[in-house]
């Protein structure tokens, strides 16, 4: 390598100043994330390009040919993955090569496209949409665990929510959900409890422990939003107290686990959702107390916001020193 730099310097391609810097301290840098980004973009561009091509030529290509092409891509991807993957383990399994994870991703997307196209065009599942979403969900969970792929696990969790008839992402959960429905609230609560149970089961049984974060991430958001929705839905009923008690019990449980796991992210979520719950109770008490106490609400929110920031700073320092 030194000879290469000397030759380049001799040819005048490297200046004297640059040559001295290289000799004193070779500059090494990683292109790991650049390569991963390019591979992700490659998968997205390939799937998008195929979609556009099929859409624009649907009349000339034919549905059977399109399905055959998607099935061929899916089969080729999974054939490569099964042939290349390392033996299954309950712990973390590294990818055999850089492209492996992206081939798994392409195969999974192709499979979902194939099943969706088949149902849309030929109604193979009829009106049994539960079965049409159940099969992709089970396949995605199998792929996620067998090939140890966190991205596919997130897709499987999203499909679990679709199978239950709800949305799992916090943004869609807040924007598109009807929290006036007892069925929707209870469904979200069941989903959240299932995801939290899945998170702690991975740790308790020491089975794919690194999957815990994905389960817990969605589970915390869904559970707390469902509990808050239940509280406000039963606002004028004595049942609202039960929803709030369950919320604080859940917050305490997740708080202890966050401290034990040294996770500031989940500690932050517990504090924020707990702050929303406490503030809703404070507003309710001020409304019952009358205008005199209600005028103190701005002072409460300003003071509590400052206190919340100080608390988060102290907790962060505590986690770093523990």
Which pLDDT value is given to residue 12? 77
**Alpha helices (H) in the chain, listed in sequence order:** 2-10, 16-24, 32-56, 58-61, 63-84, 100-122, 129-146, 150-163, 170-176, 182-204, 212-233, 239-261, 264-289, 291-294, 297-321
Q: Which residues of 33-48 are buried (b: 16+ CB within 10 A; e: fewer)?
A: eeeeeebeeebeeebe
- Interacting residues of 160 by C-beta distance below 8 A, sequence separation 6+: 137, 168, 191, 194
- Interacting residues of 173 by C-beta distance below 8 A, sequence separation 6+: 166, 167, 188, 221, 222, 225
- Interacting residues of 38 by C-beta distance below 8 A, sequence separation 6+: none
The percentage of the chain sitting over the pLDDT mark of 90, rounded to a whole number, equals 47
130 CB neighbour count, 10 Å cutoff: 12
Radius of gyration of the chain (CA): 26
- Interacting residues of 257 by C-beta distance below 8 A, sequence separation 6+: 200, 263, 266
Residue 210 is given by DSSP the state G
105 CB neighbour count, 10 Å cutoff: 22
Distance CA 35, CA 23 (A): 28
Distance CA 11, CA 2 (A): 14
Check if the beta carbon of residue 183 is closer than 8 Å to that of residue 177.
Answer: no
Please check the confidence at residue 2 and state whether its pLDDT lies above 60.
Answer: no
286 CB neighbour count, 10 Å cutoff: 17
Res. 178 pLDDT band, cuts 50 70 90: low
Which pLDDT value is given to residue 288? 76
Res. 290 pLDDT band, cuts 50 70 90: low
Which pLDDT value is given to residue 59? 66
Which pLDDT value is given to residue 175? 66
Structure token pair of residue 98: 């850089």
Which pLDDT value is given to residue 26? 55
Domain locations along the chain = 55-163, 168-322
Please check the confidence at residue 171 and state whether its pLDDT lies above 70.
Answer: no
Please check the confidence at residue 292 and state whether its pLDDT lies above 70.
Answer: no
More confident residue, 62 or 100: 100
Describe the crossing of helices 212-233 and 182-204 by its angle, rounded to 10 degrees: 150
More confident residue, 114 or 32: 114
Which pLDDT value is given to residue 15? 80
Please check the confidence at residue 43 and state whether its pLDDT lies above 80.
Answer: no
Mean pLDDT, residues 129-133 taken together: 85
Question: Which residue do the tokens 């700073």 mark?
Answer: 313
Check if the beta carbon of residue 169 is closer than 8 Å to that of residue 159.
Answer: no
More confident residue, 254 or 97: 254
pLDDT tens readout for residues 224-246 = 999 999 999 999 899 999 999 99
Distance CA 69, CA 82 (A): 20
More confident residue, 47 or 315: 315
Res. 55 pLDDT band, cuts 50 70 90: low
Mean pLDDT, residues 74-83 taken together: 95
Mean pLDDT, residues 190-204 taken together: 96
The percentage of the chain sitting over the pLDDT mark of 70, rounded to a whole number, equals 85
Of 12-21, 67-76, 85-94, 166-175, the one with minimum mean pLDDT is: 166-175
Residue 168 is given by DSSP the state -
Mean pLDDT, residues 96-105 taken together: 89
Of 45-59, 87-101, 186-200, 263-277, the one with minimum mean pLDDT is: 45-59
More confident residue, 256 or 13: 256
Distance CA 268, CA 265 (A): 5
Distance CA 19, CA 5 (A): 7
Rama region for 178: left / alpha / beta (φ>0; ψ in -120 to 50; rest): beta
Please check the confidence at residue 293 and state whether its pLDDT lies above 80.
Answer: no
Of 31-35, 218-222, 310-314, the one with minimum mean pLDDT is: 31-35
Please check the confidence at residue 75 and state whether its pLDDT lies above 90.
Answer: yes
Of 60-64, 217-221, 265-269, the one with minimum mean pLDDT is: 60-64
Q: Which of 124, 101, 120 is nearest to 54 (CA)?
A: 120
103 CB neighbour count, 10 Å cutoff: 21
């Amino acid at each position: 390598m030194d000879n290469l730099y000397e030759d380049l310097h001799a040819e005048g391609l490297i200046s004297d100043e640059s040559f001295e810097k290289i000799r004193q301290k070779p500059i090494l840098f990683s292109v790991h994330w650049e390569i991963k980004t390019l591979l992700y973009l490659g998968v997205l561009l390939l799937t998008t390009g195929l979609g556009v091509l099929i859409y624009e030529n649907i009349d000339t290509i034919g549905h059977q040919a399109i399905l055959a092409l998607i099935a061929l891509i899916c089969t080729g991807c999974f054939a490569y993955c099964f042939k290349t993957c390392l033996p299954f383990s309950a712990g973390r399994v590294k990818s055999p090569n850089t492209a492996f994870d992206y081939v798994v991703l392409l195969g999974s997307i192709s499979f979902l496209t194939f099943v969706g196209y088949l149902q849309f065009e030929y109604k193979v599942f009829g009106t049994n949409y539960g079965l049409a979403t159940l099969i992709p969900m089970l396949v995605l969970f199998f792929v996620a665990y067998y090939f140890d792929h966190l991205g596919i696990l997130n897709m499987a969790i999203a499909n679990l929510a679709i199978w239950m008839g709800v949305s799992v992402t916090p943004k869609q959960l807040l924007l598109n959900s009807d929290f006036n429905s007892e069925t929707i609230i209870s469904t979200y609560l069941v989903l959240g409890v299932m995801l939290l149970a899945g998170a702690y089961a991975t740790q308790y049984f020491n089975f794919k422990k690194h999957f815990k974060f994905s389960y817990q991430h969605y589970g915390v958001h869904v559970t707390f939003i469902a509990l808050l929705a239940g509280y406000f839905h039963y606002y004028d009923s004595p049942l609202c107290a039960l929803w709030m008690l369950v919320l604080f019990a859940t917050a305490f449980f997740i708080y202890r686990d966050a401290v034990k796991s040294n996770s500031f992210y989940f500690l932050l979520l517990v504090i924020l959702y707990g702050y929303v719950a406490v503030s809703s109770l404070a507003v309710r008490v001020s409304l019952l107390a009358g205008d005199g106490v209600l005028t103190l609400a701005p002072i409460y929110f300003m003071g509590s916001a400052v206190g919340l920031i100080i608390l988060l700073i102290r907790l962060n320092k505590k986690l770093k020193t523990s």
